[in-house]
Amino acid sequence: MATIRKHFGNWQVMIRRKGYPHISKSFTKKSTASTWAKQTELDMERETYNDVSLAARTTLKEVLLKYRDEGIVHLKSSRTIASKINIILKDKIASYGLTQLRSKHAWEFKKRISEGRSPKTINMYIDTLNSAWKYARTNLSIAVPAEAPASLVAKERVNNERDVTLTTAEYERLLKEANNQPTKYGQWPFPILEDLIKFAVLTCARYAEITSLKRSDTDFNKKLATFRDTKNGTDRTIPLSDEVIAILKKYPFGDRFFNIKNRDRFKMYWYRARKRAGLQHLRFHDLRSVGITFHVLNGMQLHEVALLSGHKTLAVLHRKYLRLKPSDIAEKINNPKIVKIR
């Protein structure tokens, strides 16, 4: 039941109702106070009342922290999203209260984080803001508008098709540099990088699939390995060549063959190897394209490569990953037994 009283020159409304927090609000006119009280109680009766006081005292930073620590832990991309959240937390947009945030703040944020970042990465930051806003509304029960301020920010146009290939010489140079990075003590501190590169090319597997491959999911006698819960949400079993099996047998301990606990360390040596090889543009994921092209050049049919790479349709495989040139076909016609990366 609402009570209205005169308080320091204003009219104060107090509403106490079971199932709702105690609400207090002041007005200059008694008629306005009475109208607001009646409407609020009616909304409570209809169960359509939204308490905006929580939104008013909650900052975007608080929501982002909750979202990072509780909302994304079950996602495969949790590490990537968390890294984006950590960057947003350092920006001034995180200090705004949820009721203060406007689309202009999201636009200004986009401008600040755009320098030196790819269109895809910029869009990921905007998507993270939108997801955190939705999390506040649906999971934290904070009464914010359904339309997030960042939802009005235009996305960057992204071209996901990368025309990246390696010649045989470039591939061999990359392997050499992967195995040729001595420390000041004269020892290579990340000896599995060369094998990771070879494995990626020979199996056309993604980084996450390679590093999560378990010993229990591998059968050397049948020459098969199964990647569990892949990017597509399904398991994928692939054939293993003798060369791939030889690589895996070099790592006889642990539940996983390539148990990389520190991904940042891997990145550091990967970046160093590609730079020394003169291949700064190369991403580890590009080795998937290199492998697909390699197998096609060596006589494997597209449907066989699709089984290896996990592509559901040949069109996607051909458009996004296969990188053939007329010179490749000419060389293959004249020397059908040639075996090379490119």
What span, in angstroms and rounded, lies between the C-alpha atoms of 132 and 129? 5
What span, in angstroms and rounded, lies between the C-alpha atoms of 308 and 317? 11
- pLDDT tens figures, 92-132: 999 999 989 999 999 999 999 998 888 889 999 999 999 99
User: What pLDDT band is residue 162 in, cutting at 50, 70 and 90?
Assistant: low
- pLDDT tens figures, 281-304: 899 988 988 888 888 877 788 788
- pLDDT tens figures, 50-85: 667 778 889 999 999 999 999 998 887 888 899 999
Q: What is the 3-state secondary structure (H, E, C) of 267-307?
A: HHHHHHHHHHCCCCCCCCCHHHHHHHHHHHHCCCCHHHHHH
- pLDDT tens figures, 210-236: 999 999 999 999 999 999 988 877 888
Closest CA to 171 of 286, 325, 300: 286
- pLDDT tens figures, 271-285: 989 999 999 889 998
User: What pLDDT band is residue 310 in, cutting at 50, 70 and 90?
Assistant: confident
- pLDDT tens figures, 149-160: 999 999 988 766
Whole-model pTM over 0.85: no
Amino acid 182: pLDDT: 57
Closest CA to 304 of 328, 330, 322: 322
Residue range 236-244: mean pLDDT, rounded: 91
What span, in angstroms and rounded, lies between the C-alpha atoms of 97 and 192? 47
Provide the token pair at 195: 């094998």
**Average pLDDT, whole number, for the chain?**
84
Closest CA to 165 of 257, 293, 73: 293
